[in-house]
Chain A
Amino acid sequence: MIMSGATIQASAPARETVRGGRSSLTRSRIRAAWIFIAPTLIVLALIAGWPLARTIWFSFTDANLNSLNDYEFIGLENYIANYDGEWLGLLTDTDWWRSVWNTVWFTAISVSIEAVLGTIVALILNASFPGRGIMRAVILIPWAIPTVVSAKMWNWMLHDQFGVINDMLLRLGLIAAPITWTANPDTALWTVVMVDVWKTTPFMALLILAALQMLPGDIYEAAKVDGVHPVRVFFRVTLPLIKPALIVAVIFRALDALRVFDLIYVLTANSRDTMSMSVFARQQLVDFQEVGLGSAASTLIFLIIALLIVITMAAGRVRLGGETR
Chain B
Amino acid sequence: MKALTRIGFWLLVVAIGLFSIFPFYYAVISSFRSGSDLFKVAYRPERLDFSNYIAVFERQPFGTNIFNSVVVAGSVVALSLGLGITAAYAFGRIRFRGRSLLLMTILTVSMFPQVAVLSGMFELIRSFGLYNTLPGLILANLMLTLPFTIWVLTTFMRELPKEIEEAAFVDGATPWIVVRRVFLPLMMPAAVTTGLLAFIVSWNEFLFALTFTLTNEQRTVPPAIALMSGSTAYELPWGTIMAASVIVTVPIIALVLIFQRKIVAGLTAGAVKG
Contact = CB atoms under 8 A, between A and B. Distances in A.
A29 B174 CA distance: 9
Q: What is the size category of the interface that chain A forms with chain B?
A: 35 or more
Contacts of A147: 204, 206, 222
Contact of A40 (B87, B203, B245, B252): B87
B107 A322 contact: no
Nearest to A208: B268
A18 B172 CA distance: 12
B26 A157 contact: yes
B252 A259 contact: no
A65 B118 CA distance: 12
Contacts of B241: 152, 156
Contacts of A163: 41
A261 B119 contact: no
B179 to A, nearest CB: 7
B102 interface: yes
Given A32-B175, A321-B104, A51 B120 contact: yes
Contacts of A149: 222, 225, 245, 248-249
A157 B22 CA distance: 10
Contacts of A207: 267-268, 271
A156 B21 CA distance: 15
Interface in A117-146: 120-121, 124, 127, 129, 131, 135-146
B61 to A, nearest CB: 17
A278 interface: yes
B149 to A, nearest CB: 10
Given A37-B102, A135-B17, A142-B20, A30 B118 contact: no
B192 interface: no
Contacts of B206: 146-148, 261-262, 265-266
A47 interface: yes
Contacts of A145: 24, 249, 252-253
B222 A146 contact: yes
Given A145-B249, A146-B222, A39 B103 contact: no
A258 B113 CA distance: 8
A17 B187 CA distance: 31
Interface stretch (A79-87, A181-189, A195-203, A219-227): A195-203
A52 B109 CA distance: 10
B121 interface: yes
Contacts of B96: 30, 33-34
Contacts of B179: 36
Contacts of B108: 306, 309
A278 B94 CA distance: 39
A291 B119 CA distance: 7
A215 interface: no
Interface string A153-169: 11011010111100100
Given A37-B87, A282-B207, A302 B21 contact: no
Nearest to B99: A33
Nearest to A259: B113
6 contacts: A40-B150, A139-B16, A139-B17, A198-B23, A202-B20, A298-B117
Closest 7 CB pairs of A and B: A51-B120, A54-B120, A32-B175, A259-B113, A302-B116, A33-B90, A51-B117
Given A48-B109, A252-B272, A282-B207, 11 more contacts: A30-B96, A36-B87, A36-B175, A52-B117, A55-B119, A135-B16, A146-B206, A149-B249, A162-B38, A291-B119, A301-B116
